[in-house]
């Protein structure tokens, strides 16, 4: 399982999973965009390079989702895949680089809106199967 949606009173909450941090972040991105449309249908036509850094892993995840939503707002992109994700930690500083791939939202039926990630209830945990994260996004 890549992710599952959880009940939340006002926003959308999901838990995502990954054997690696890279897989975890990719699945968080997929869960976010699947709130808007069936991402399985989103063609992989256009790509954007993403490079981020942060001193906390949760902030890196927040910034990653925020950057993806920036492309939704400015380029009207829906993302359905994340390639070449590399997350590194060096002396307490985390970096992420990847290529986000998808298509223009007007080519798909969408519902609702994801405004932004939040720090509310956000947590990343190491598990015996890899990693899990709980994320709440403002809808």
Question: Which domain CATH number covers 129?
Answer: 3.55.10.10
Phi/psi region, residue 84 (left: phi>0; alpha: psi -120 to 50; beta: rest), is left
pLDDT recorded at residue 135:
97
Mean pLDDT rounded to a whole number for the chain = 96
> How much of the chain, in percent, has pLDDT values that exceed 70?
100
pLDDT recorded at residue 1:
78
Strand residue runs (E) in 19-113: 46-54, 77-90, 93-104
Q: How confident is the model at residue 10 (pLDDT cuts 50, 70, 90)?
A: confident
Count of domains for the chain:
1
Mean pLDDT of all residues in 22-42: 98
Q: Is the pLDDT of residue 9 over 90?
A: no
Q: Is the pLDDT of residue 80 over 90?
A: yes
Domain of residue 128: give its range.
Answer: 3-138
């Amino acid at each position: 399982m890549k992710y599952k949606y959880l009940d939340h009173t006002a926003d959308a909450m999901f838990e995502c999973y990954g054997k690696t941090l890279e897989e975890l972040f990719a699945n968080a991105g997929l869960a976010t965009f699947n709130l808007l449309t069936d991402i399985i249908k989103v063609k992989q036509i256009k790509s954007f390079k993403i490079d981020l850094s942060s001193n906390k892993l949760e902030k890196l995840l927040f910034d990653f989702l925020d950057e993806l939503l920036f492309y939704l707002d400015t380029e009207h992109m829906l993302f359905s895949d994340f390639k070449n994700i590399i997350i590194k930690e060096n002396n307490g500083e985390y970096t992420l680089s990847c290529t986000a791939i998808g298509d223009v939202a007007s080519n798909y039926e969408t519902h609702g809106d994801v405004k932004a990630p939040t720090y509310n209830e956000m947590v990343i945990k190491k598990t015996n199967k890899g990693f899990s994260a709980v994320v709440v996004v403002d809808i």
